[in-house]
Amino acid sequence: MRGSAYTLGQKTIIADEMKNRALLNQKTASELITLYRSPLYVYDLAKLKERVKELLDYCKTIDCTVRYAIKANPHPRIIKLFDELGLHFDASSDYEADEAVSAGVDPVKISLSSQQPPGDMNKTLRSGIKFVATSLHQLDLVSKAARKENIAVRLNPGLGAGHNRRTTTGGVISSFGVWHEYIPKVLDWQLQTGININRVHIHIGSGGDSQIWRQAIQKSLELVNQMPSVEILNMGGGYSIARVAGEESADMSQIMTVFKYELANFAKQTGRHLRLEIEPGTWLVGNAGFLLCKIVDIVDTGKRGFNFIKLDSGMNDLLRPAMYGAQHPIEVLNNSKSTKDYVVVGHNCETGDIMTPAPGDPEGIKPRNLPEGAIGDLVVIGGAGAYGASMRVVGYNSFPSATEVFINE
């Protein structure tokens, strides 16, 4: 088998054999499954490169550092590619930061913002990684460390956004960051310790509407105005993509225009020229990845019930539908001329292992009209490049994890 191999918890392969072929073509899908077996994650390197270039073009008109949110997909091949293309990185744990360093990323390009404090705060601060304290307790740990340098603090601005509560990372329902009303405590800590806070990190959740992002940066700048030492504002990630019809994709060109205007207005009013950081994950990788699998059974629950397609994959590989009620495009790859309404489910012994939940409601189900399937047909689930392999329920029912391969090298 040609191509380099990488290992990150499961077998992963670069599929040089399939480069320059269309991903969703039935013949190509069959060849991939023959080469690597089912189920199979497929990532399109050409699409990943195009997405990075597009985003960097949007950022040319503003002093902006783009950090890839590693948690979206921590595959070493993706980290290496994005490092080569000039991106910086956001890690959500010191383990993610270590994986990025192992993939060749310079620690100074990594920002660490974690719910759990690093196992060794001194080591983290010495490494050059840009540490973000996400609580008053973490600030206390920094003050006890031997090395003193610039750090960042994550604030909860009291504003959140997301397609449901589970994707909202700001506001009173979220534990992320220091509550904004405690800024005086942060400033007192800074005064007492002499440790400089030069960066503020804020993440509200996810959304596509530029008005949400206008509200978010306006609120953020109100908070930064209370912190005179801050030079960098990190507006986090959550820039949404449209996976299925009816969903709204974040217009990054428009959002960057909004950010540029608000930062310029802040500079005019205060004389402070802030640098901007953003941390997209899904926006960069979401629609560049697919989960290929097979139909292993078809059952029904009578005239008043449902028709079910059972796959050889499920929540152990792709958890988003069961966890969030997230919608993913699903195609049955056959030549059938007729269609049928199906509820698509995974192979785990779990009622909640459903790939076609009601939108935003993991408790509900909503059938999809698909080509009439047969046992053995291939199925492709799109929009699986982000929070797919990285967030799966590894080991459930002892099913092995899907292999990850790359095409269009």
0.75 surpassed by pTM: yes
pLDDT surpassing 60 at residue 161: no
Q: Are residues 187 and 319 in the same domain?
A: no
Q: What is the CA radius of gyration of the chain?
A: 22
For the beta carbon of residue 299, count every other beta carbon within 10 angstroms: 11
Bridge partners of residue 88, in order along the sequence: 67
Residue 156 has pLDDT above 50, yes or no: yes
Residues 26 and 124 occupy one common structural domain = no
In this structure, the answer to whether residues 297 and 238 fall within a common structural domain is: no
Q: What is the H or E stretch that residue 84 is in? A: helix 76-84
> Burial letters for 73-90: b for 16+ Cβ neighbours within 10 Å, e otherwise?
bbbbbbbebbbebebbbb
Query: What is the average pLDDT across 163-179?
Result: 59
Which residues, 6 or more positions from 284, have their beta carbon under 8 angstroms from its beta carbon?
48, 51, 52, 55, 68, 72, 82, 386
Domain that includes residue 116, residue range: 45-285
Q: Are residues 23 and 168 in the same domain?
A: no
100 and 38 in a single domain? The answer is: no
Q: Of the candidates 270, 285, 300, which is a domain's last residue?
A: 285
Looking at the structure, tell me whether residues 77 and 196 fall in a common domain.
yes
Residue 39 sits in the same domain as residue 126: no
The number of distinct structural domains making up the chain is 2
Same domain, 99 and 190: yes
C-alpha span between 43 and 59 (Å, rounded)? 25
Tell me which residue has tokens 């019809």: 245
- Lowest-pLDDT choice from 39-53, 140-154, 395-409: 140-154
- To the nearest whole number, what is the mean pLDDT of the chain? 89
CB 3 within 8 A of CB 15: yes
The tens digit of pLDDT for each residue in 257-303 reads 999 999 999 999 999 999 999 999 999 999 999 999 999 999 999 99
pLDDT surpassing 70 at residue 207: no
Report whether pLDDT(115) > 60: yes
Query: Which of 55, 40, 44, 42 is closest to 284 using CA atoms?
Result: 55
Q: Are residues 233 and 257 located together in one domain of the fold?
A: yes
Alpha carbon distance 315, 323 (integer Å): 9
- Shared domain for 281 and 359, answered yes or no, is no
